[in-house]
């Protein structure tokens, strides 16, 4: 399966599995399984059916969900990069922050916490509230 075909499949599967109809289908399967318990005398095989089914579905869904989350994160990052590029006062060096090491991100986090603290202190000094208006 090519990357494009898998991407389309994963996107459709993730959307379908997150739908109300899919939830109702899952509830229906559980109800049918529960109702058939007495018919099968709550046997080990009866329990194995639901355990195996849910394990297989969960295993496969992990990959589908991860694929769609990776894609959504990439798209969101590109949108944020474009906003940074388009805003005149924004620092373009903040584009591609996801490529920085954890230590470099920590330094930036501390820097932005300092900027926030300075802004709060400036508002207090000017006698303005902390709310946006």
Report yes or no: 34 and 26 within 8 Å, Cβ to Cβ: no
| Domain match, 56 and 85 both | yes
| Domain match, 8 and 48 both | yes
| Domain match, 68 and 128 both | no
pLDDT tens digits along 83-123 = 887 887 877 777 778 788 889 889 989 988 998 899 899 99
Structural domain boundaries enclosing 18: 3-94
| Domain match, 36 and 64 both | yes
User: Which residue do the tokens 């000094």 mark?
Assistant: 125
| Domain match, 55 and 75 both | yes
Secondary structure of residue 100 in the 3-state scheme: coil
Q: How many domains does the chain have?
A: 2
pLDDT tens digits along 37-46 = 999 999 999 9
| pTM strictly above 0.85 | no
pLDDT tens digits along 36-70 = 999 999 999 999 999 999 999 999 999 988 988 98
| Domain match, 90 and 31 both | yes
Q: Say what the pLDDT of residue 74 is.
A: 87
């Amino acid at each position: 399966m090519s990357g494009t075909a898998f991407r389309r499949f994963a996107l459709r599967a993730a959307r379908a599995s997150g739908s109300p109809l899919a939830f109702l289908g899952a509830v229906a399967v559980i109800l049918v399984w529960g109702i058939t318990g007495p018919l099968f005398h709550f046997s080990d095989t009866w329990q194995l059916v639901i355990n195996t089914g849910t394990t297989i579905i969960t295993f496969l869904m992990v990959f589908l969900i991860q694929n769609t989350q990776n894609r959504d994160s990439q798209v969101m990052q590109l949108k944020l990069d474009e906003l940074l590029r388009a805003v005149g006062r924004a620092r373009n060096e903040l584009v591609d922050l996801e490529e920085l090491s954890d230590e470099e991100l920590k330094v930036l986090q501390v820097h932005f916490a300092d900027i926030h603290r300075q802004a709060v202190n400036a508002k207090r000094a000017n006698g303005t509230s902390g709310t946006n208006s």
